[in-house]
């Protein structure tokens, strides 16, 4: 097979987290040809591979620059929605926090959405199959898989104080958020290996790149799936000013993410007729659920000034991190650059009647790290954030135009359900409680609430949440799997009503998992590859 081939057995659209897993797994058999198409660039930039590079990647050239529609329950704000646009997708720019969600999440996919075969026991098999854990093994963990999972090389002094403070507040110390229980406070394990980021591109795709039967095209955007007689037969692509078509003899697998996958379905005439007609697109297949059921965790941050020059703020400009940090990292793969910055974790309850924790917190020994989150005035601070893990608000993704270069209209519809607001407020209250405990409070000089807010009444909390809620970068659910009316794919991930077409990425989650979403997406792609290869 040459690089100029236009005919492949499998075409995978989107070289993000799921796409990289699929490309590696489907191309194991040398007699099968695979094409992976990614809109963004290759992942060769060094910042992608240094764990602390996360602090530079939530804005800039490796993300799509999406902005939400005005959020009617969040002061009509248009909220930036960073999503990866680079080989490795979100996994090349994310915070590398390794969490899988609660087993109950997957069991609910089966019991409430009819997703047979996606129960927690089956998913645990895929989590373990993927995993190369440097510390844990046994019932919940494994090693030797493609995805490096590591402990923090050297947790920051401030993170240690935060973890002690969680215990002072009464939470148990948890050495494994992916083990017996999520509940408690501790250090996150991260998707890193030997002091470097391990995205699905690094762990799965790079080792497969020398296979002659695998072609990877970057900076190529799929503009449409070509459908003949209700069967997907190829894809049209654009690259700069040129266009091209590739055909697939077996299957096309869409893995363009929770915004990209429904957009591509709609561009291809698969979706709610109302959405398609308003963009002037001919209907190939009526599938009302495409672009519906959008879910994300709505994140709230508080930053604090500290009294010691030790935080990791503005690592590029504040001494002593510049040259020293670089040398320490190059020589030993340690020091601030080896940190993912999002170091400390906590899972707790807003509602004690829940079976598993419904609040998740991230502690960063720095402030001003992510786009849109402020730094303290002196550049010395820490950040704590929280979100409600099982939001009931549901949003939409709709194409704005038949022009594939135009961004879709994305409405996460944050905080449209009162329970989401109430749980988030309880999360904020717990944030302030943990930050007032002795171990961390001895460093804190001031709490900075965005927009000069004060939190002293229910109304002030409500206003704060509506004024400052933002994405946690976990959009899912827009091409939901299931056997219900608004489902888009079957439990085998086949698009209802169209042959030879599957979707396999974060968009197929019928309900968001109770944690960060990368590990779940990798497990989805692992299972998708098994389903495809076994002919299911
Ligand atoms: C800033 C950030 C921080 C995060 N932090 C964490 C974390 O710490 N831990 C965690 O578990 N999760 C985290 N996540 C979430 C996690 O990265 C995602 O859940 C995961 O990457 C989703 O995988 P995916 O394959 O569904 O989509 P993506 O990884 O987004 O991949 C989709 C790919 O498809 C490409 N694409 C889209 N449309 C087209 C098209 N038409 N043609 C060709 N290519 C196309 C995109 O460019 C992209 O590369 C974070 C995400 C972000 C953005």
Whole-number Cα distances in Å, 383 to 160, 362, 431, 446: 14, 8, 10, 12
Give the tokens for residue 433.
Answer: 């409680």
Ligand 1 centroid, distance to 12 Cα (angstroms): 15
Per-residue pLDDT at 264 exceeds 50: yes
DSSP annotation of 375 reads: P
Query: Across residues 360-380, what is the average pLDDT?
Result: 85
- Top mutation candidate among 257, 341, 361, 503 for ligand 1, by most atoms within 8 Å of CB: 257
Q: What pLDDT score was predicted for residue 320?
A: 42
Query: Across residues 302-322, what is the average pLDDT?
Result: 73
Picking from 16, 531, 500, the residue whose alpha carbon sits closest to that of residue 258 is 16
- Top mutation candidate among 90, 297, 473, 481 for ligand 1, by most atoms within 8 Å of CB: 90
- Top mutation candidate among 59, 362, 517 for ligand 1, by most atoms within 8 Å of CB: 517
Per-residue pLDDT at 223 exceeds 80: yes
Q: What pLDDT score was predicted for residue 187?
A: 98
Ligand 1 centroid, distance to 288 Cα (angstroms): 24
Mean pLDDT of the chain: 95
Per-residue pLDDT at 1 exceeds 70: no
Ligand 1 centroid, distance to 494 Cα (angstroms): 21
Nearest C-alpha to atom 16 of ligand 1 is from which residue? 518
Q: What pLDDT score was predicted for residue 366?
A: 92
Nearest C-alpha to atom 11 of ligand 1 is from which residue? 518
Cα(100)–Cα(201) distance, integer angstroms: 19
Using a cut of 0.95, tell me whether the model's pTM lies above it: yes
Q: What pLDDT score was predicted for residue 4?
A: 78
Q: What is the DSSP secondary-structure string of 260-325?
A: HHHHHHHHTTEE-HHHHHHTT---SEE-TTTT-SBB--EEEEEEEEESSTTS-TTTTTSTTSHHHH
Ligand 1 centroid, distance to 257 Cα (angstroms): 6
Query: Across residues 410-435, what is the average pLDDT?
Result: 98
Q: Are 339 and 95 in contact (CB under 8 A)?
A: no
Nearest C-alpha to atom 24 of ligand 1 is from which residue? 257
Per-residue pLDDT at 434 exceeds 90: yes
Left (φ > 0), alpha (ψ -120 to 50) or beta: where does 76 sit?
A: left
Ligand 1 centroid, distance to 25 Cα (angstroms): 19
> Percent of the chain having pLDDT more than 90?
88
Tokens 């097979």 found at: 1
**Confidence class for position 378, pLDDT limits 50, 70, 90:** confident
Q: What pLDDT score was predicted for residue 373?
A: 81
Query: Across residues 216-239, what is the average pLDDT?
Result: 98
- Top mutation candidate among 13, 91, 301 for ligand 1, by most atoms within 8 Å of CB: 91
Nearest C-alpha to atom 50 of ligand 1 is from which residue? 94
Ligand 1 centroid, distance to 472 Cα (angstroms): 12
Is residue 71 packed enough to be buried (19+ CB in 10 Å), middle (13-18) or exposed (0-12)? buried
Cα(323)–Cα(137) distance, integer angstroms: 37
Nearest C-alpha to atom 3 of ligand 1 is from which residue? 94
Per-residue pLDDT at 315 exceeds 60: no
Per-residue pLDDT at 309 exceeds 70: yes
Atom of ligand 1 nearest to the CA of 264: 41
**Confidence class for position 321, pLDDT limits 50, 70, 90:** low
Does the active-site annotation cover 496?
no
Per-residue pLDDT at 374 exceeds 90: no
Q: What pLDDT score was predicted for residue 318?
A: 43
Q: What pLDDT score was predicted for residue 345?
A: 98
Query: Across residues 366-389, what is the average pLDDT?
Result: 86
Give the pocket of ligand 1 (CB within 6 Å).
13-19, 37-40, 58, 82-85, 89-91, 93-97, 221-222, 255-257, 260, 264, 473-474, 505-506, 516-519, 521
Per-residue pLDDT at 316 exceeds 80: no
Q: What pLDDT score was predicted for residue 34?
A: 98
What's the first-to-final CA gap in the chain, in angstroms? 27
Query: Across residues 518-534, what is the average pLDDT?
Result: 98
Cα(28)–Cα(455) distance, integer angstroms: 56
Q: What pLDDT score was predicted for residue 319?
A: 40
Atom of ligand 1 nearest to the CA of 54: 1
From the CA atom positions of the chain, what is the Rg in Å? 22
Cα(495)–Cα(517) distance, integer angstroms: 22
In tens, the pLDDT along 47-77 reads 999 999 888 899 899 999 999 999 999 999 9
DSSP three-state, residue 234: strand
In tens, the pLDDT along 400-415 reads 999 999 999 999 999 9
Query: Across residues 219-241, what is the average pLDDT?
Result: 97
Q: What pLDDT score was predicted for residue 313?
A: 79
> Percent of the chain having pLDDT more than 70?
98
Q: Are 85 and 57 in contact (CB under 8 A)?
A: no
Higher pLDDT, 3 or 379: 379
In tens, the pLDDT along 94-141 reads 999 999 999 999 999 999 999 999 999 999 999 999 999 999 999 999
């Amino acid at each position: 097979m040459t690089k100029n081939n236009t005919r492949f057995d499998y075409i995978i659209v989107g070289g993000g987290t799921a796409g990289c897993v699929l490309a590696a797994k489907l191309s194991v058999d040398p007699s099968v040809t695979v094409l992976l198409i990614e809109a963004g660039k290759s992942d060769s930039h060094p910042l992608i591979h240094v764990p602390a590079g996360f602090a530079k990647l939530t804005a800039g050239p490796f993300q799509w620059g999406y902005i939400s529609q005005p959020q009617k329950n969040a002061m009509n704000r248009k909220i930036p929605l960073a999503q990866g646009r680079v080989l490795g997708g979100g996994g090349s720019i994310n915070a590398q926090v390794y969490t899988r969600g609660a087993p109950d999440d997957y069991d609910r996919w089966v019991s409430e959405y009819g997703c047979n075969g996606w129960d927690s026991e089956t998913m645990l098999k895929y989590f373990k199959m993927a995993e190369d854990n440097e510390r844990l093994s046994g019932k919940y963990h494994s090693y030797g898989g493609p995805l490096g999972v590591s402990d923090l090389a050297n947790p920051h002094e401030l993170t240690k104080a935060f973890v002690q403070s969680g215990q002072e507040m009464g939470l148990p110390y948890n050495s494994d958020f992916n083990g017996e229980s999520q509940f408690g406070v501790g250090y996150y394990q991260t998707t890193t290996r030997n002091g470097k980021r391990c995205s699905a591109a690094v762990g799965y795709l790079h080792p497969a790149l020398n296979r002659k039967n695998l072609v990877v095209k970057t900076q190529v955007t799929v503009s449409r799936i070509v459908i003949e007689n209700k069967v997907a037969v190829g894809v049209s692509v654009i690259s700069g000013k040129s266009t091209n078509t590739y055909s697939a003899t077996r299957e096309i697998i869409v893995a363009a993410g929770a915004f990209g996958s429904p957009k591509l379905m709609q561009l291809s005439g698969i979706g709610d007729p109302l959405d398609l007609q308003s963009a002037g697109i001919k209907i190939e297949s009526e599938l009302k659920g495409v672009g519906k059921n959008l879910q994300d965790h709505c994140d709230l941050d508080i930053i604090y000034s500290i009294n010691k020059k030790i935080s990791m703020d503005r690592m590029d400009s504040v001494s002593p991190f510049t040259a020293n940090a670089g040398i320490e990292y190059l020589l030993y793969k340690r020091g601030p650059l080896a940190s993912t910055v999002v170091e400390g974790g906590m899972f707790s309850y807003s509602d004690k009647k829940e079976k598993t924790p419904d609040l998740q917190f991230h502690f960063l020994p720095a402030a001003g790290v992510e786009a849109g989150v402020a730094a303290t005035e002196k550049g010395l601070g820490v950040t704590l954030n929280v979100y409600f893990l099982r939001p009931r608000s549901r949003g939409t993704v709709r194409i704005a135009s038949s022009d594939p270069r135009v961004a879709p209209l994305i409405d996460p519809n944050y905080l449209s359900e009162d329970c989401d607001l109430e749980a988030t407020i309880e999360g904020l209250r717990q944030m302030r409680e943990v930050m007032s405990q002795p171990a961390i409070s001895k460093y804190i000089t001031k709490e900075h609430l965005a927009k000069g807010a004060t939190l002293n009444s229910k109304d002030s909390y409500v206003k704060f949440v509506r004024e400052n809620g933002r994405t946690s970068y976990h959009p899912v659910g827009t091409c939901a799997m299931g056997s219900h009316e608004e489902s888009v794919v079957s439990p085998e991930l086949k698009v209802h009503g169209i042959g030879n077409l599957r979707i396999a990425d974060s968009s197929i989650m019928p309900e968001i998992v109770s944690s960060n979403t990368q590990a779940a997406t990798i497990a989805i792609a692992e299972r998708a590859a098994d389903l495809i290869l076994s002919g299911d």
